[in-house]
């Protein structure tokens, strides 16, 4: 690696840090499922913008007593992005908390566009994504040799969030051996389950998870048809994920198949 490349990747001290806004993945809910970097960025923030009821108070408690807290729930970008810009221009730091990992279904990109246009430095701190938290709480590996080696992350189309024409559930050309993780499935839950029953069949096993790692967590493992019949038991929730085809078993991985083999490398 050249000297210039090394200089670009070397961490800067706090005094020379050009970062104004840290987009932070706050994980699924539990306050101890944060990275060390996330906790540090939250603790040093002057302004904390967080995703309303999706971020528990225990996560916000990592912030200093002097921090200004602003919930983005029910607000437009124009209601809080200017405040983020103003804070940075006054020399302050901003922590923008998103549930799960901000790289998927977070509307982070449109915020970054506005911040970059204003000359504000940004960074992204990854978090535990919802699908990983659901798999952990259910005690499963989503990719099993001979059964599933593909995981599809998607969400249902709904008012207010545009979907590409070929990205709706009915239009996805997904191998039925893949594991489908349907984020944000709580809106129109019964309609989503009806669609999945048509695509996969009512006997296909699935996992319905709601508010994973929260005290009122729900984990149901049933055939899709049973989940559809049980759907009215759930109050309206946005933080619902449906995992279709969470099969276990399968063939032995080549990773540890024999001594002196491939070793600890990605399978």
Burial of 38 (0-12, 13-18, 19+ CB in 10 A): buried
Residue 162: which pLDDT band, with cuts at 50, 70 and 90? low
Q: What is the average pLDDT value for the chain, to the nearest integer?
A: 84
Secondary structure letter of residue 88 according to DSSP: H
Place of tokens 């594991």: 179
Q: CATH 3.40.1010.10 in the chain: give the residue spans.
A: 19-125
The fold of the 19-125 domain, in CATH, is Cobalt-precorrin-4 Transmethylase; domain 1 (3.40.1010)
* Percent of the chain residues topping a pLDDT of 70: 78
Architecture of domain 130-159+167-244: 2-Layer Sandwich (3.30)
Q: Do the beta carbons of residue 214 and residue 137 sit within 8 Å?
A: no
Give me the residue label for tokens 């490349």. Answer: 5
Of 5-9, 71-75, 218-222, which has the strongest mean pLDDT? 218-222
Compute CA 138 distance to the chain's CA centroid, rounded to the nearest angstrom. 17
State residue 156's pLDDT score.
86
Say yes or no to pLDDT of 150 above 50.
yes
Reported as a pLDDT band with limits 50, 70 and 90, residue 175 is: low
Query: Model's pTM, two decimal places?
Result: 0.80
- Those residues whose C-beta lies under 8 Å from the C-beta of residue 101, and which sit 6 or more positions away, are 25, 126, 127, 128, 129, 130
pLDDT interval class at 187 (50, 70, 90) = confident
The CATH 3.30.950.10 domain(s) of the chain lie at 130-159+167-244
Higher pLDDT, 11 or 156: 156
CB atoms within 10 A of CB 33: 19
> Rounded to the nearest 10 degrees, what angle do helices 108-117 and 77-89 cross at?
40
**What pLDDT, on a 0 to 100 scale, did the predictor assign at position 247?**
65
Gyration radius (Cα) of the chain, Å? 21
| Mean pLDDT, rounded, for 137-153 | 87
Tens digits of residue pLDDT in 70-96: 999 889 999 999 999 999 999 999 999
DSSP-derived 3-state class of residue 15: helix
């Amino acid at each position: 690696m050249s000297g210039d490349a090394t200089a670009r990747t070397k961490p800067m001290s706090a005094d020379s840090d050009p970062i104004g806004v840290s987009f932070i993945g706050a994980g699924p809910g539990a306050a101890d499922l944060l990275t060390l970097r996330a906790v540090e960025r939250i603790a040093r923030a002057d302004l904390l913008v967080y995703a309303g009821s999706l971020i528990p108070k225990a996560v916000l408690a990592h912030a200093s007593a002097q921090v200004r807290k602003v919930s983005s729930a029910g607000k437009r970008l124009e209601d809080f992005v200017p405040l983020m810009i103003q804070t940075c221009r006054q020399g302050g730091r901003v922590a923008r908390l998103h549930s799960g990992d901000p790289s998927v279904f977070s509307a982070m990109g449109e915020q970054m566009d506005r911040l970059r246009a204003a000359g504000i430095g940004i960074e992204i701190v990854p978090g535990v994504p919802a699908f990983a938290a659901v798999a952990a709480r259910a005690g499963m590996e989503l990719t099993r040799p001979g059964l599933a080696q593909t995981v599809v992350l998607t969400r249902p189309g709904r008012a207010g969030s545009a979907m590409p024409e070929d990205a709706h559930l009915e239009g996805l050309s997904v191998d039925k051996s893949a594991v489908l993780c349907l984020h944000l499935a709580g809106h129109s839950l019964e309609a989503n389950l009806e669609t999945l029953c048509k695509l996969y069949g009512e006997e296909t096993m699935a996992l319905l998870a709601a508010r994973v790692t929260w005290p009122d967590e729900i984990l149901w493992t049933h055939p899709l048809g049973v989940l559809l019949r049980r759907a009215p038991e759930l109050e309206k929730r946005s933080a619902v994920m449906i995992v279709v085809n969470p099969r276990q078993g399968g063939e032995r991985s080549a990773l540890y198949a024999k001594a002196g083999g491939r070793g600890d490398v990605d399978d």
